[in-house]
């Protein structure tokens, strides 16, 4: 998979050289390109924004630099991801789908957003997904992009050492994950649930599923399958 990020804060993504994705990049599983949108401006001040038509507070990102940046980056198989509070809620299922794609381009908007014609222009030739991390506003798309790259990147085949570890996580089976424990078996007078020490794999699996249901009922009843 190749990921390209278009942003006015390229240094923000230095952290992607470390962590899991750093190793995936070393192994050539994921290629990453971070591009400074200002490299696609031609004025002395490298201007990327201007006042909104129709008035109102704040500034809007100019279409010209975005157009040139997209022209230099898009391929026919690209999926453009626009982090936006006005987008479709991001889910584990979406992360799983996007992890199968060959090329993702993240467009990090700032200010009051990107001139709408840029999104419409891209949508004429490639798939565009406006995606929200939740019902709140950030100052720019960079933090959301980082979160999505981590959620997607870890699902790209070959990135995580033991794919088994991906199957029992929150939201993988639609439910929240069960509680986890490790040594010591008693800590500050709190003991590990005895079933986990029983060696009875079926009893452990049943207990874990029941814990998923209980936690999902309590915290996220909206995720419960009908009848549970």
Ligand X SMILES: COC(=O)c1ccnc(N)c1
Where on the chain is the footprint of ligand X (CB under 6 A)?
Answer: 83-85, 109, 132-134, 136-138, 140-141, 144
Min dist CB 130 to ligand X, Å, is: 9
Instruction: Output the CA–CA distances (angstroms, integers) from residue 227 to 174, 205, 213, 221, 223, in the order listed.
Output: 14, 20, 11, 11, 12
Q: Which two tokens stand for residue 185?
A: 């078996």
Q: Which is nearer to ligand X, 129 or 154 (CB)?
A: 129
Angle at the Cα of 213 from the Cα atoms of 211 and 219, rounded to 5 degrees = 95
- 138 is annotated as contributing to ligand binding: yes
Pick the closer one to ligand X by CB: 134 or 193: 134
CB of 144 to ligand X, least distance (A): 4
Q: Residue 136 annotated as binding?
A: yes
Shortest separation between residue 158's beta carbon and ligand X, angstroms: 28
CB 66 within 8 A of CB 113: no
Identity of the residue, 24 or 82, whose beta carbon is nearer to ligand X in the bound complex: 82
> 134 a known binding residue?
yes
Least distance in angstroms from the C-beta of 92 to ligand X: 16
Binding residue per annotation — 109? yes
H-state helical runs in the chain? 19-26, 63-71, 92-98, 116-123, 142-153, 164-167, 201-219
DSSP string across 148-198: HHHHHHTTSTTSSS-THHHHTSTTTSSSPPPP---S-SEETTEEPPGGGGS
Q: Which two tokens stand for residue 101?
A: 């794609």
Nearer to ligand X, 73 or 107 (CB): 107
**Which tokens is 164 given?**
């088994």
Could you tell me which residues come within 8 angstroms of residue 183 by beta carbon, excluding any fewer than 6 positions away? none
- Decide whether 142 or 208 has the Cβ nearer to ligand X: 142
The annotated binding site is made up of 109, 133-138
Q: Which residues are annotated as a binding site for S-adenosyl-L-methionine?
A: 109, 133-138
């Amino acid at each position: 998979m190749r990921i390209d990020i278009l942003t006015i804060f390229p240094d923000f993504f230095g952290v992607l050289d470390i962590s899991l994705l750093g190793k995936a990049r070393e192994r050539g599983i994921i290629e990453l390109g971070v591009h400074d949108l200002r490299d696609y401006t031609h004025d002395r001040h490298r201007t990327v924004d201007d006042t909104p038509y129709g008035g109102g507070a704040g500034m809007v990102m100019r279409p010209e630099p975005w157009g040139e940046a997209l022209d230099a980056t898009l391929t026919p198989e690209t999926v453009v991801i626009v982090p936006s509070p006005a987008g479709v809620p991001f889910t584990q299922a979406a992360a799983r789908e996007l992890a199968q794609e060959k090329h993702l381009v993240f467009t990090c908007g700032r200010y009051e957003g990107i001139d709408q014609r840029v999104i419409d222009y891209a949508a004429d030739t490639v798939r565009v997904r406006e995606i929200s991390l939740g019902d709140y506003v950030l100052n720019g798309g960079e933090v959301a992009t980082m979160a999505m790259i981590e959620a997607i990147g870890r699902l790209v085949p070959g990135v995580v050492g033991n794919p088994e570890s991906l199957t029992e996580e929150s939201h993988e089976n639609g439910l929240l994950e069960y509680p986890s424990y490790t040594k010591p078996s008693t800590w500050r007078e709190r003991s590990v649930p005895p079933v986990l020490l029983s060696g009875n794999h079926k009893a452990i699996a049943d207990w874990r599923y029941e814990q998923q249901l209980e936690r999902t009922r309590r915290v996220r009843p909206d995720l419960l399958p009908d009848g549970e």
